[in-house]
């Protein structure tokens, strides 16, 4: 884990080195020309794709929409015969060939080596879950700025079998050509995450010259499932591009990408880099962003790798450090404003061909998305600024609990910080029946198992009855039950309260008295939190 922490301690200077390495490994010769042609496509005028399908292809797609069929397409002034086409999309976006389907076009299946604007595979997405048509394009730009490989995106008009389907999202396909653009060696295994599937399932291999036994995936799974956290960190560093994964996770949190790998085990590709021996997660299907501008900035915990990586405190801290960095360097109002200005100029030109009502609706939708993105920046900044700092443990996983605040709930109590037997203590005395009072400490913790330990002393405690909690002097976690309760008279006695949290969150520790009479002292110096 030391290598990883060194990278983060210099504030992600490694990203600069990574981007420089990518430039060093940039395609040369023919591939460089292809990349330039593709860049012109995604940054140039919005084109119309006119797709023609013979009757036999239409009939085939009605019965087997995923089975590629021959077709022809005219793009601007260029015509391509003998392309292949099939319907794409998952549960929320799949439409039949007779509706407004999302489509995948391959230019080289029937004519080897042929490309359109440097690409042999493209997607035309119906964007039924993103009427703005902007999510994919914005996310692609941001990920590229952050050094995360992802497909480029733009917009296009689509005519299918004589039907004008209107504006679609145009996306680069994930295949060896894509890998060649972003990695030094494109021969590794590229896996498709499929629909809500994790790495411990049988993921489809889209390309690769590596072994088909999926032992590379098994190594990643074994590393993630390692019980010992220190050993888990070491094993994950040996098989996962952790720096990129932390950046990806932080960006998905900023973009409120609820349907990505970390939050839903969905919409991702996974590439094994043979030269480095590392897996890289690639975001995909980014058409549902910014749904809740005030969404919490939390580490993701649905995906196996996310859950197990961010369970390690150092990586949990790194997630928040990277979110801060991205808000300062990448996910900024200046960058997004410049991006949207360029995109809007292209779209407004295209909108002139639309009917007045649709043109007005498109402009309003575009402006709303822009505003949502800028508002999300401010929300994320505010959340991170007010977020309690993660508690710091010593090398033995122990920290002293402090900043206890009194809380009067019921009855009548004397509650103070005092000294007894020469020991500074949290003192609570019940003066009336059915008194409930406490001292409370709020701390923010990564997911994991913990124990609060300490010493207490009681005198004349008469436990009161409660419908939920049995009375006495005790320590618990807010929302949880007591594990030990003390009544009557006790000299200084040690206690322990164990608990587990399953996601990073703020925890309130409660040292309380529920009594009709009596008093309790909690030794403040002894109150410690232990991380197991």
Are the C-beta atoms of residues 447 and 503 closer than 8 Å to each other?
A: yes
Is 0.75 surpassed by the pTM of this model? no
- The DSSP bridge partners found for residue 272 are 279
Query: Which residues, 6+ apart, have CB-to-CB distance to 296 below 8 Å?
Result: 383
The helix (run of H) or strand (run of E) holding residue 379 is helix 356-386
3-state secondary structure 397-444: CEEECCCCEEEEEECCEEEEEEEECCEEEEEEEECCCCEEEEEEEEEE
Q: Return the pLDDT at 467.
A: 63
Q: Return the pLDDT at 143.
A: 95
pLDDT tens, N- to C-terminus, the chain (532 residues)? 544 444 444 334 333 334 434 433 445 566 788 888 888 999 999 999 999 999 999 999 999 999 999 999 999 899 999 999 999 977 667 899 999 999 999 999 999 999 999 999 999 999 888 989 999 999 999 999 999 999 999 999 999 999 999 999 999 999 988 998 899 999 999 999 888 899 998 899 988 887 778 899 999 999 999 999 999 999 999 999 999 999 999 999 999 998 899 989 998 999 999 989 999 999 998 988 987 777 888 888 889 999 999 988 889 889 999 999 999 999 999 999 999 999 999 999 999 989 999 999 999 999 999 999 999 999 999 988 887 666 788 889 999 998 899 999 999 999 999 999 999 999 999 999 999 999 999 888 887 899 999 999 999 999 998 766 779 999 999 988 889 999 999 999 999 999 998 877 789 999 999 999 999 999 999 999 999 8
Are the C-beta atoms of residues 154 and 137 closer than 8 Å to each other?
A: yes
Q: Return the pLDDT at 93.
A: 72
Are the C-beta atoms of residues 274 and 185 closer than 8 Å to each other?
A: yes
- The DSSP bridge partners found for residue 495 are 454
Q: How far apart are CA 134 and CA 127, in angstroms?
A: 9
| Residue count of the chain | 532
84-88: list long-range contacts, CB under 8 Å, 24+ apart. 84/109, 84/110, 85/51, 85/53, 85/57, 85/61, 86/61, 87/61, 88/123, 88/125
Are the C-beta atoms of residues 279 and 270 closer than 8 Å to each other?
A: yes
The domain spans of the chain are 45-181, 398-531
**Residue 240 DSSP class:** B
Q: How far apart are CA 3 and CA 236, in angstroms?
A: 12
Q: Is 196 helix (H, G, I), strand (E, B) or coil?
A: coil
Q: At what angle do helices 2-9 and 313-329 cross, to 10 degrees?
A: 30
Are the C-beta atoms of residues 384 and 377 closer than 8 Å to each other?
A: no
Q: Return the pLDDT at 29.
A: 62
Q: Which CATH superfamily is domain 398-531 in?
A: Galactose-binding domain-like (2.60.120.260)
Separation in Å, CA 338 to CA 255, 331, 334, 507: 18, 12, 6, 41
**Residue 91 DSSP class:** T
Q: What is the Cβ-side half-sphere exposure of residue 344, based on CA atoms within 13 angstroms? A: 15
Separation in Å, CA 125 to CA 130, 155, 318, 402, 485: 10, 9, 34, 54, 61
């Amino acid at each position: 884990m030391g290598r990883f922490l060194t990278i983060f301690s210099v504030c992600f200077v490694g990203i600069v080195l990574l981007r420089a390495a990518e430039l060093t490994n940039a395609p040369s010769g023919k591939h460089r020309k292809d990349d330039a042609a593709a860049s012109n496509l995604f940054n140039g005028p919005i084109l119309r794709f006119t797709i023609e399908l013979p009757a036999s292809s239409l009939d085939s797609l009605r019965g087997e929409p995923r089975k590629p069929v021959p077709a022809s397409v005219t793009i601007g002034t260029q015509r391509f015969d003998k392309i292949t086409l099939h319907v794409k999309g998952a549960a929320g976006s799949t439409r039949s060939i007779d509706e407004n389907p999302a489509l995948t076009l391959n230019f080289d299946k029937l004519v080897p080596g042929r490309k359109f604007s440097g690409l042999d595979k493209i997607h035309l997405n119906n964007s039924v879950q993103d009427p703005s048509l902007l999510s994919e394009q914005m996310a692609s730009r941001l990920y590229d700025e952050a050094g995360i490989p992802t497909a480029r995106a733009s917009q296009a008009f689509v005519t299918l079998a004589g039907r004008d389907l209107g504006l679609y999202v145009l996306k680069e396909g994930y295949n060896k050509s894509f890998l060649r653009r972003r990695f030094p060696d494109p021969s590794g295994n590229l896996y498709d995450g499929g629909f809500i599937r994790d790495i411990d399932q049988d993921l489809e291999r889209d390309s690769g010259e590596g072994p088909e036994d999926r032992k590379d995936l098994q190594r990643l799974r074994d590393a993630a499932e390692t019980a010992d956290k220190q050993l888990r960190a070491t094993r994950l560093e040996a098989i996962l591009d952790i720096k990129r994964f932390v950046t990806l996770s932080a960006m998905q949190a900023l973009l409120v990408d609820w349907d990505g790998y970390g939050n839903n085990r969905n919409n991702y590709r996974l590439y094994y880099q043979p030269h480095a021996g590392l897996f890289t997660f690639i975001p995909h299907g980014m058409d549902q962003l910014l749904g809740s501008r005030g969404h919490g900035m939390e580490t993701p915990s649905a995906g196996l790798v996310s859950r197990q990586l961010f369970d390690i405190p150092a990586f949990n801290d790194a997630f928040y450090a990277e979110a801060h960095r991205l808000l300062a360097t990448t996910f900024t109002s200046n960058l997004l404003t410049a991006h949207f200005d360029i995109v809007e100029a292209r779209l407004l030109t295209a909108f002139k061909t639309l009917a007045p009502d649709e043109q007005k609706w498109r402009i309003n939708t575009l402006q709303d998305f822009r505003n949502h993105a800028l508002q999300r920046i401010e929300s994320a900044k505010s959340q991170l600024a007010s977020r309690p700092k993660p508690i710091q443990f010593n090398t033995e996983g122990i920290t002293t609990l402090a900043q206890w605040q009194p809380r009067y709930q019921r009855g009548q109590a004397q509650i103070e910080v005092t000294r007894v037997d020469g020991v500074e203590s949290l003192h609570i005395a019940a003066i009336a029946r059915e008194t409930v009072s406490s001292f409370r400490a709020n701390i923010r913790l990564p997911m994991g198992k913990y124990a609060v330990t300490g010493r207490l002393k009681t005198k004349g405690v008469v436990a009161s009855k409660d419908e939920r909690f049995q009375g006495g002097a005790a320590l618990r976690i807010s929302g949880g039950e007591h594990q030990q309760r003390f009544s009557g008279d006790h000299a200084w006695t040690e206690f322990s309260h164990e608990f587990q949290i399953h996601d990073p969150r703020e925890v309130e520790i409660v040292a309380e008295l529920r009594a009709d009479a009596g008093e309790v002292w909690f030794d403040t110096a002894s109150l410690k939190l232990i991380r197991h």
